[in-house]
Amino acid sequence: MGPLQGVRVVEFAGLGPGPFCGMLLADLGADVVRIDRRGSRGGLIGALGATSLLDRGKRSIALDLKDADDLAVVRALVERADVLLEGFRPGVMERLGLGPDELLALKPSLVYGRMTGWGQTGPLASSAGHDIGYIALTGALGASGRPGERPAPPLNLLGDFGGGGVFLALGAVAALVHARATGEGQVVDAAIVDGTAVLTTMIHGMLDAGVWTDRRGRNLLDTGAPFYDVYRCADGQFLAVGALEEQFYAALLDGLGLAGDESLPDRNDPRQWGALRDRFTAAFAARTRDEWWTVFAGTDACVAPVWSLLEATQDQHNRERGVFTEVDGVVQPDVAPRFSVTPGSVGSVPQPGQHDAEIRAELEKGPRPPHPSQARGGPLDGA
């Protein structure tokens, strides 16, 4: 089911942010048809393609985009679709005869979603790239890490998925609302550099206000502050501490047995942060991670164990809330966000071309009629 039930999406298979966007839409009920490349899926595409959880809940048709008959199938799919998602370099879709001008002429209400690292314009638009370079160019990578050390990339979560896939999904749904109300489609140019830069908006505001320095590891939220940092425990495992507010800091000191210690350095004086961190480091090193979690669990000290990916699936809170689910024997994150009336669901991962016959049979029925909301100028409700 899901709030996007009835929305049809055509997605050109790729890696990372584009498929992630398609997964988000599929989780929320959209019918996502993935166009796979007919033939070999070796190398990285093979490793991250057919077995990728980013393709859960989708259907697959395998086509050769150099074949005229298969290009006709693509156009037929577009005529029945609401949204198209592609992640090629600028100009590739145009050379295939599948650019925005051609497909919006074919389907005027189409939402044409484009996912790139650098964007459709700019001096780097045609250059290759990956998450680490995109977040580097926006300043996000340079702000991540400890002073004097190399910047630490947060996997590919910040650029590919946060700055890329999530913003493409937001853009696609926003443009779909407009298309349902007016019948007018449009291009959504989602660039990872754009989205990642937006994610740094608060930090830029703090820079302007003079409460953030342009040096990593020296500020309130980048491990510069000793009460917002990660500490090693007696067993070599780690705890995350985020006791920013006064009342949470008081709970932290209480749990550490430091409440009322007048020799403790002043947390409000950044010049004393080094000495305060030393005290916290010694305190946390006295017990194991799990012993400390017994002390802090359920308190307002804002302390949490640093779980591994597998440990996170077994955490009591995550289990009781259902943060993770198991589908086809694979434990994976469940749908987010949650809806009270139209909940989404996690589907299976298709094999390339698995739904060829089914999809081709649907195409024989011809294009769908316009959505009723376009005739009455209504919103997306009831998609």
pLDDT, tens digit, 9 for 90 and up, residues 90-107 = 999 999 999 999 999 999
Q: Where are the domains of the chain?
A: 8-199+324-376, 228-232+238-305
Question: If you average pLDDT over residues 25-50, what whole number do you get?
Answer: 76
Residue 365 has pLDDT above 90, yes or no: no
Element (H, E) at 136: helix 131-137
Residue 41 has pLDDT above 80, yes or no: no
Question: If you average pLDDT over residues 77-81, what whole number do you get?
Answer: 97
Percent share of the chain, pLDDT over 90? 91
The band of 249, judged by pLDDT with boundaries at 50, 70 and 90, is very high
Residue 375 has pLDDT above 70, yes or no: no
Helix axes 17-27, 166-182, angle to 10 degrees: 60
Query: CA dist 92 to 97, 108, 120, 240, Å?
Result: 9, 21, 11, 45
Residue 373 has pLDDT above 90, yes or no: no
Give me the phi and psi of 92, to 5 degrees please. Answer: -65, -50
Equal fold, 8-199+324-376 vs 228-232+238-305:
no
Number of H helices, E strands in the chain: 16, 11
CA angle 328, 357, 383 (to 5 degrees): 70
Nearest alpha-carbon partner for 378 in 172, 179, 184, 185: 179
Give the strand order in the sheet containing 111-116.
Answer: 59-63, 31-37, 8-12, 83-86, 111-116, 186-191
Percent share of the chain, pLDDT over 70? 93
The band of 45, judged by pLDDT with boundaries at 50, 70 and 90, is low
Nearest alpha-carbon partner for 90 in 119, 69, 55, 60: 119
Roughly how many angstroms between the first and final C-alpha of the chain, as a whole number?
11
Element (H, E) at 24: helix 17-27
pLDDT, tens digit, 9 for 90 and up, residues 255-266 = 999 999 999 999
Predicted local confidence at residue 39, as pLDDT: 74
Query: CA dist 184 to 2, 167, 231, 232, Å?
Result: 24, 20, 54, 56
Of the listed 31, 160, 189, 229, which one is catalytic? 160
For residue 360, the one-letter residue type is R
Determine the topology of domain 228-232+238-305 in CATH. Answer: formyl-coa transferase, domain 3 (3.30.1540)
pTM, full prediction? 0.92
Predicted local confidence at residue 136, as pLDDT: 98
Of the listed 70, 130, 300, 356, which one is catalytic? 130
For residue 259 the two structure tokens come to 């409440």
Q: How far apart are CA 135 and CA 151, in angstroms?
A: 11
CB atoms closer than 10 angstroms to residue 364 = 7
Residue 377 has pLDDT above 50, yes or no: no
In the chain, which ranges are E strands? 8-12, 31-37, 59-63, 83-86, 111-116, 186-191, 228-232, 238-242, 303-305, 324-327, 330-333
Predicted local confidence at residue 374, as pLDDT: 53
For residue 227 the two structure tokens come to 């009460």
Question: If you average pLDDT over residues 119-130, what whole number do you get?
Answer: 96
Residue 49 has pLDDT above 80, yes or no: no
Answer yes or no: 130 catalytic: yes
CATH architecture of 8-199+324-376: 3-Layer(aba) Sandwich (3.40)
CA-CA-CA-CA torsion for 342, 192, 78, 105, nearest 10 degrees?
Answer: 120
Residue 342 has pLDDT above 70, yes or no: yes
Nearest alpha-carbon partner for 50 in 3, 14, 21, 25: 14
Residue 376 has pLDDT above 50, yes or no: no
Answer yes or no: 31 catalytic: no
104 vs 43, higher pLDDT: 104
Predicted local confidence at residue 307, as pLDDT: 98
Predicted local confidence at residue 383, as pLDDT: 38
Q: How far apart are CA 235 and CA 221, in angstroms?
A: 26
Predicted local confidence at residue 367, as pLDDT: 75
Q: Give the mean pLDDT of the chain.
A: 93
Query: CA dist 278 to 225, 265, 328, Å?
Result: 12, 10, 48
